[in-house]
Amino acid sequence: MPASSPSFADVFGRPPEAQAQAPGRVNLLGEHTDYQGGFVLPSAIPQHTVVALARNGGDTHHLYSLNYGERLDVPAGETGTGFAPYVTGCCALTGVKDALDVWISSDVPSGGLSSSAALEIATLRALRTLYDLPLTDVDLALIGQRVEHEFVGVRSGIMDQMASSLADTRHMLFLDTRTLERQKLPLPAGGEVVVLDSGVPRRLAGSGYNTRRSEVEEAARRLGVSELRDVPDVAALASLPDLLLRRARHVVSENARVLLALHAPAPLFGELMNASHASLRSDYEVTVPRVDELVALLQAHPDVYGARMTGAGFGGAVVALARIGTAGQVARDVLAQYGPEGQQVVPPPYPESESAKSSGLTRTSGAEGRGN
């Protein structure tokens, strides 16, 4: 960010009353399983979103995004458009009626790395601080998910908000999305995470996502289970028509891969990532050609154990597991082959001190560990 970027005080003429931040996430394994009660293995990425806010005493929210260089004015109590619903939804669901001045800055790339969840969790943390709300970190995740459903219109699972609220960059968060039981596990022994942005904007991601969700709900209904989590084996799917069989086979096989991966060393973990990508490409059909190419380049690199798309798909980011100590070089090698639209995300290509600009308040609240 340039040093001249306007701070909260530059935009609103006084310091903020509260500020918080929350990270994006990369999902290492367990894709499109979290709305069928399945298992996921996300980790936080170093990039994060910062939200600073203060009551303005009026009746209109002023929402300033440093990234867009744009201010949206939304009457308090209304939802608004663009990035506004992520913030106004958080206000509505926490019962905040005041009109707010809000300043947002983020270095989480959009597309597969949960920039939306990072904005929701950072906003909710700032509101929790300002109003001293008795909410745990899990409560924040559940509210963030309701913002997606009720204000944004994407029927997302719970993975992204749980990861942004509870994960860190040094572990993977093994989450049972049915019970929300969770455990922090070390990253696969001998491996190092690489995340690249394909530069392919996600088109129709919301509608494609909701369609997939309806398809697997229909598969579960036909099989007589409440969620595909309860299907023990792909052999049990034989009665389904072809399309639903392939969709369900992805979910059931992906859950099995996560359980195999929990304590796997990097070479086995990498194989499971490769199998996950093949399943997302052929059975779930949420990849696009350029993402498949980027994954293939990573998989062909001699220092890479495995690679796959990450997040909802339809464009966006990819993740790989590289031999320890090689991640930066792998990212540079592969991007040189892929082309200029690709971008290195992890390891960050810049010093962490230059990540999302702070609003001007010195202390920023992150995870506060309120008993969860």
Which residues contact ligand GLA by CB under 6 A? 27, 31-32, 34-35, 156-157, 159-160, 311-312
CB of 113 to ligand GLA, least distance (A): 9
Closer residue to ligand GLA (CB): 109 or 311: 311
CB of 236 to ligand GLA, least distance (A): 22
31 or 101: CB nearest ligand GLA? 31
Q: Which is nearer to ligand GLA, 250 or 301 (CB)?
A: 250
Cα–Cα distance measured from residue 345 to residue 341, given in angstroms and rounded to the nearest whole number: 13
Question: Angle 360-87-147 (CA atoms, 0-180°, nearest 5)?
Answer: 140
Q: Contact 87/319 with Cβ under 8 angstroms?
A: no
Asked whether the bond before 201 is cis by omega within 30 degrees of 0, the reply is no
Cα–Cα distance, 309 to 320 (Å, whole number): 9
Q: Cβ 122 to ligand GLA, closest distance in Å?
A: 16
Q: What are phi and psi of 319, to 5 degrees?
A: -130, 145
**CB nearer ligand GLA, residue 27 or residue 129:** 27
Other C-beta atoms closer than 10 Å to the C-beta of 161 total 30
Calculate the dihedral angle through the C-alpha atoms of 57, 62, 63, 66, rounding to the nearest 10 degrees: -110
Contacts of 21 (CB under 8 A, 6+ apart): 48, 49, 50, 51, 122, 125, 356, 364, 365, 366
Chain mean position to CA 3: 28
Label the pairing between strands 100-106 and 171-176.
Answer: unpaired
CB-wise, 137 or 160, nearer to ligand GLA? 160
CB of 10 to ligand GLA, least distance (A): 33
User: 126-153 as b/e, with b when 16 or more CB fall inside 10 Å?
Assistant: bbbbbbebebbbbbbbbbbbbbbeebbe
Closest contact distance (angstroms) between CB of 311 and ligand GLA is 5
> C-beta of 31: minimal distance to ligand GLA in Å?
4
Which of 34, 101, 107, 160 is the catalytic position?
160
Whether 279 and 260 have beta carbons less than 8 Å apart is answered as no
What is the smallest separation between the CB atom of 69 and ligand GLA, expressed in angstroms? 26
**361 neighbors 19 (Cβ within 8 angstroms):** yes
**Among this protein's residues, is 107 annotated catalytic?**
no
- What gap in Å lies between CA 290 and CA 260, rounded to an integer? 29
Question: Which residues are the active-site residues?
Answer: 160
